[in-house]
């Protein structure tokens, strides 16, 4: 039986298919400031070379000059006093203009903050190296599960690292050149076709499929480029759906073509791909899945598992079965994802009654 790929674009069931300018610190290493304010800027000197500077702030001009030379002997007493007064003043070096206003670190959220209005335009979403970034467990996708008689992995409790899963995206395609949604629709040929699961005997001709690229937001808050193979007749509609997800900031972890190697791999139960075309049979059946026609899409499979009785796919996604606990990446009734697909006439597996396939959307509702 053809089972769902190791990346766990889960299959379907009976009624359908599953298918981080940061804040510039006035460092308390004693940096001297000079009152040279003009148009909202201050001039910042270089750090004092080990001297005790005045408190951080502006230093009057008269204390900012070069320490005077030693006077004649009869003025030595006065010079010593001068040294005591001026010894902590730094020589006035070339100054560096610094904005008086302080930029605020963007919060750790799914959507990246907009660039400050004083910053030049950027060609990619601004990143903050000080912001905690989602981590990717080294073992992800590397630990095959024992299988049952049907070929499904024998799952267990969700690993703690994956309960509230917000993993950074590993780019397999160049990210968008600007922080704007971008898309392309091309005939399916060359490398995308070679990497896909299409082969002779699939229920759809290559000419009736399209290779689609769309921008998406990752759980890392950055912009990425994903790829899909869908039926030619629905390609433009699918682009419109992902544009709405982009605008809403709905996060995706991964979006790539499912390969034959994925289909043949042992199940690891921890995949989280968003994808469409997979030439395979329905879960637990012999007829072709709607994925085999490019007429179904799975979204964040780990956050939105397929559940039928005790069977959960991906096999380690048990923590996502309780839909009363909402986490980023999960699909809920009436949200942007469901509404965007409904707008093009597609139906959601989360509405099924005999089983639930929260990741799954299809044109015919199966």
| Enclosing domain of residue 219 | 160-362
- Highest mean pLDDT range out of 71-80, 128-137, 190-199? 190-199
Residue 79, CA distances (Å) to 59, 62, 64, 68, 91 in order: 22, 16, 17, 8, 18
- At 145, the pLDDT band (50, 70, 90 cuts) reads very high
Question: Residue 290 above 70 pLDDT?
Answer: yes
Q: Give the rounded percent of residues in the chain with a pLDDT score beyond 90.
A: 59
DSSP letter (8 states) at residue 119: S
60 within domain boundaries: yes
Same domain, 75 and 164: no
**Alpha helix (H) residue ranges in 139-197:** 160-163, 190-195
Which of 99, 114, 136 marks a domain boundary?
A: 99
- Clarify whether residues 86 and 165 are in a common domain: no
b/e burial code for range 257-273 (CB count within 10 A of at least 16 → b):
bbbeebbeeebbbbbbb
Residue 145 domain flag: no
Statement to judge: residues 179 and 297 lie in one domain: yes
Any domain includes 48: yes
Percent of the chain with pLDDT over 70: 63
> Above 50 in pLDDT, residue 55?
no
Whether the predicted pLDDT of 221 surpasses 90: yes
pLDDT confidence tier of residue 134, bands split at 50, 70 and 90: low
Q: Is the dihedral of CA 223, 229, 230, 231 positive or negative?
A: positive
Query: In terms of domains, do 217 and 356 share one?
Result: yes
Examine the domain organization and report whether 94 and 177 are in the same domain.
no
Helix or strand (DSSP H, E) at 214? strand 209-217
Overall residue count recorded for the chain in this entry? 366
| Residue 127, pLDDT above cutoff 70 | no
Burial class (CB in 10 A: 0-12, 13-18, 19+), 185: middle
Do 342 and 258 fall into the same domain?
Answer: yes
> 244 lies in a domain?
yes
Residue 94's pLDDT band (boundaries 50, 70, 90)? Answer: very low
Single residue among 77, 99, 121 that ends a domain in this structure: 99
pLDDT at 286: 81
Task: Name which residue leads in pLDDT, 191 or 110.
Answer: 191
User: What is the Cα–Cα distance from 348 to 10, expressed in whole angstroms?
Assistant: 14
- Look at residue 130 and tell me whether its pLDDT is greater than 90: no
Residue 243 has pLDDT above 70, yes or no: yes
- Tell me, yes or no, whether 245 and 319 share the same domain: yes
> Token digits for 96?
């560096």
pLDDT given at position 42: 32
Whole-number Å distance between alpha carbons of 163 and 172: 25
The per-residue pLDDT for 131 is 43
Residue 322 and residue 216 share a domain: yes
114 found inside a domain? no
Residue 254 placed within a domain: yes
Are 224 and 347 part of one and the same domain?
yes
**pLDDT in the model for residue 281:** 82
Give me the pLDDT at residue 99, please.
32
Residue 234 lies in a domain: yes
- State whether 290 and 172 are in the same domain: yes
HSE value, Cβ hemisphere, 13 Å, CA-based, for 271 = 33
Average pLDDT over residues 162-169: 96
Assess whether 336 and 204 both reside in one domain.
yes
What pLDDT, in 10s, does the model give residues 1-52? 334 433 343 343 444 444 333 333 333 333 333 333 333 333 333 333 333 3
CA dist., res. 116 & res. 106, Å (int)? 10
Read off the pLDDT of residues 317-365 as tens digits, 9 standing for 90 and up. Answer: 999 999 999 999 999 999 999 999 999 999 999 999 999 999 999 999 9
Look at strands 360-362 and 296-298 and give their pairing: antiparallel
Closest to 347 (Cα-Cα) out of 297, 272, 288: 297
Instruction: Quickly count helices (H) and strands (E) in the chain.
Output: 6, 13
Whether 76 and 167 share a structural domain: no
Domain count, the chain: 2
Query: To which residue do tokens 């981080």 refer?
Result: 20
pLDDT for the residue 3: 40
In a domain, 261, yes or no: yes
């Amino acid at each position: 039986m053809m089972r769902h790929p190791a990346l766990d674009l889960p299959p379907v069931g009976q009624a359908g298919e599953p298918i981080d300018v940061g804040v510039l610190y006035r460092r308390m290493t004693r940096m001297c400031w000079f009152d040279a304010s003009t148009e909202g800027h201050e001039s910042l000197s270089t750090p004092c070379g080990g001297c005790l500077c005045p408190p951080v702030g502006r230093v009057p001009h008269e204390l900012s000059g070069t320490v005077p030379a030693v006077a004649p002997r009869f003025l030595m007493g006065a010079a010593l006093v001068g040294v005591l007064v001026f010894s902590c003043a730094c020589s006035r070096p070339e100054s560096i203009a610094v904005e008086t206003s302080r930029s605020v670190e963007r919060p750790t959220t799914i959507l990246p903050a907009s660039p400050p209005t004083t910053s030049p335009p950027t060609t990619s979403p601004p990143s903050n190296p000080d912001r905690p970034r989602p981590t990717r467990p080294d073992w992800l996708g590397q630990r095959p599960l024992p299988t049952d008689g049907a070929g499904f992995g024998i799952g267990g409790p969700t690993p703690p690292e994956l309960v509230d899963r917000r993993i950074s995206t590993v780019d397999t395609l160049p990210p968008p050149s600007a922080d704007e949604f971008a898309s392309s629709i091309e005939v399916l040929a060359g490398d995308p076709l070679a990497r896909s699961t299409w082969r002779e005997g699939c229920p759809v001709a290559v000419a009736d499929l399209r290779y689609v690229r769309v921008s998406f937001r990752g759980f890392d808050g950055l912009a990425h480029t994903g790829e899909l193979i869908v039926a030619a007749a629905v390609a433009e509609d699918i682009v419109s759906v992902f544009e709405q997800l982009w605008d809403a900031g709905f996060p995706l972890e991964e979006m790539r073509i499912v390969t034959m190697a994925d289909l043949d791999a042992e199940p690891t139960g921890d995949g989280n791909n968003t994808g469409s075309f997979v030439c395979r049979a329905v879960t637990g059946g012999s007829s072709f899945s709607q994925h085999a026609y490019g007429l179904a899409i799975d979204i964040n499979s780990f956050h939105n598992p397929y559940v039928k009785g005790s069977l959960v796919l991906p096999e380690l996604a048990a923590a996502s079965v309780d839909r009363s606990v909402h986490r980023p990446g999960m699909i809920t009734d009436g949200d942007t994802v469901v509404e965007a697909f409904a707008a093009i006439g597609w139906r959601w597996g989360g509405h099924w009654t005999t089983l639930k396939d929260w990741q799954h959307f299809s044109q015919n509702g199966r």
